[in-house]
Amino acid sequence: MNTTVLFIGYVWVEPNSSAAGSRMMQLIELFLSENYNVTFASPAQKGENAVQLIEYGVEEIVIELNSSSFDSFIKDLNPQIVVFDRFMMEEQFGWRVAKCCPNAVRILDTEDLHFLRKVRYEQLKKGEEFSNQALLQSDETKREIASILRCDLSLIISSYEMKLLKEVFKIDDSILLYLPFLLDTIEETDQENWLPFEEREDFVFVGNFFHKPNVDAVLELKRMWRSIRDQLPKVNIHIYGAYVSQQIQQLHKPDQGFLLHGYTPDAIEKVSKARIVLAPLRFGAGIKGKLTEAMVCGTPSVTTSIGAEGMRDEFPWNGFVEDDLNVFSDLAVKLYSEKKIWLQAQNNGIKIINSIYDKNVLSRVFLQKISQLVEDLNSHRTSNFLGSLLQHQTLQATKYMSKWIEEKNKK
């Protein structure tokens, strides 16, 4: 009998809308390739850009928050593995999984560390320097770290975040797995299909506008655009992304070469035709799908230290990394104009993708870790005493709060 894996999604999967959606699709496809029975459940409303998972052979189930109907559902399904999409889903459903399917391996896919992104945003608004001390004082941090400890394994997407969890929060290595995006390597045949420098034009930015770092980045692009356009008067910048707000739409100025296009179902095509990706991200966490996407398309980029964080190990960036946004615009012009620098940047991107994001290598490591957990789950949990303690306490506290809400909703 095939092993059953249940994904509990914070939202329905939209691989063309966000990096989180792409990441979730990568994990689903990996389990499918290993002949797992895959079920995806979510309490969210399905958006118009959501992929139809049923077409991939995945069962789709709508679940309710604070409802014992979930208990019946998961007992019937009886999954051997449960993957929580972000810590909020583990908070909501983790105790029910532990109660109804105690022998199921519980995996948290963090996507990125939400507390890191939130604290950075709050400090940016206050004009403060980022500090680990602020992380330690945040309620969001305590919630997410507790969720990591309760799970048998947490998937960490960024090497920076792995280091942060181990060195600052002293999380044991046995419950963490560094698992960045699972990407195909870039082969010579792929490179031969890339448009050359001379046939590419304009700058591009791609990002979901539900995501605050993307909103902020586009506002920064607008502020610096005049400086770039003064030096490259015939060049445009194209902004793509789902869920464009009125604030962002108002930036659309065709006469200035600042073009808002909204959602695109094929970001790869747009990025492949552009000469440069610009991503002046001032806060955020995880690794940035827009920047791995640029490398996969052979498109160099200019970003910030936050943008490149945890993405490249010791490899040189596929373009420039610059936090001074006045210098940023000059480097954007330089990379756009100088073919030799552009080609070297493109080559750097190939090395990063092929060395860090190789799907075949990463998949083997992940599947081996799951196999170890399934075979020796009791021993693994015994060694994670703090996690067991938190699971016990959470089971009591969350259980009664959820039941109170459930009874309240019946009235």
- pLDDT digit string, tens, across residues 169-188: 999 999 999 999 999 999 99
- What average pLDDT score do residues 197-206 get? 97
Lowest mean pLDDT among 106-115, 235-244, 277-286, 397-406: 397-406
Please determine, for residue 360, whether its predicted confidence score (pLDDT) is greater than 80. yes
Residue located via tokens 């998937």: 155
Contact 129, 259 (CB under 8 A): no
Out of 110-114, 135-139, 355-359, the most confident range is 355-359
Please determine, for residue 1, whether its predicted confidence score (pLDDT) is greater than 70. no
Please determine, for residue 386, whether its predicted confidence score (pLDDT) is greater than 80. no
State the Cα–Cα distance between residues 208 and 240, nearest whole angstrom.
Answer: 8
Please determine, for residue 396, whether its predicted confidence score (pLDDT) is greater than 90. no
- What average pLDDT score do residues 243-267 get? 92
pLDDT more than 70, % of the chain: 94
| The token pair that represents 282 in the structure block | 């001032």
Tell which residue, 146, 113, 150, 148, has the closest CA to residue 132. Answer: 113
Q: pLDDT tier at 408 (50, 70, 90 boundaries)?
A: low
49-58 burial, b for 16+ CB within 10 Å, e for fewer? bbbebeeeeb
Residue located via tokens 């073919």: 339
Contact 287, 137 (CB under 8 A): no
Contact 300, 278 (CB under 8 A): no
pLDDT at 47: 84
Mean pLDDT for all residues in the chain: 92
Contact 25, 56 (CB under 8 A): no
pLDDT at 376: 93
- What average pLDDT score do residues 8-24 get? 89
Contact 234, 228 (CB under 8 A): no
Please determine, for residue 148, whether its predicted confidence score (pLDDT) is greater than 70. yes
What angle do helix axes 139-150 and 87-100 make, rounded to 10 degrees?
Answer: 40
Q: Which helix (H) or strand (E) holds 401?
A: helix 385-410
State the Rg of the chain over Cα.
22
Q: pLDDT tier at 17 (50, 70, 90 boundaries)?
A: confident
Specify which residues 321 forms β-bridges with: 303
- What average pLDDT score do residues 14-27 get? 88
pLDDT at 237: 98
Q: What is the pTM of this model?
A: 0.91
pLDDT at 401: 62
Contact 225, 237 (CB under 8 A): yes
The number of helices, as runs of H, and strands, as runs of E, in the chain is 18, 13
pLDDT at 191: 97
pLDDT at 389: 72
Higher pLDDT: 310 or 387? It is 310
Contacts of residue 68, defined as CB under 8 A and 6 or more positions apart, other chains included, come to: 403, 406
| The token pair that represents 28 in the structure block | 């689903």
Query: What is the DSSP pairing of strand 203-206 with strand 237-240?
Result: parallel
pLDDT at 395: 60
Handedness of CA 341, 257, 266, 22 (dihedral sign): positive
pLDDT at 7: 98
| Domains annotated on the chain, with CATH | 4-183+359-410 (3.40.50.2000), 188-356 (3.40.50.2000)
State the Cα–Cα distance between residues 284 and 400, nearest whole angstrom.
Answer: 34
Higher pLDDT: 274 or 66? It is 274
Q: What DSSP designation does 251 have?
A: T
- What average pLDDT score do residues 17-36 get? 92
Q: pLDDT tier at 21 (50, 70, 90 boundaries)?
A: confident
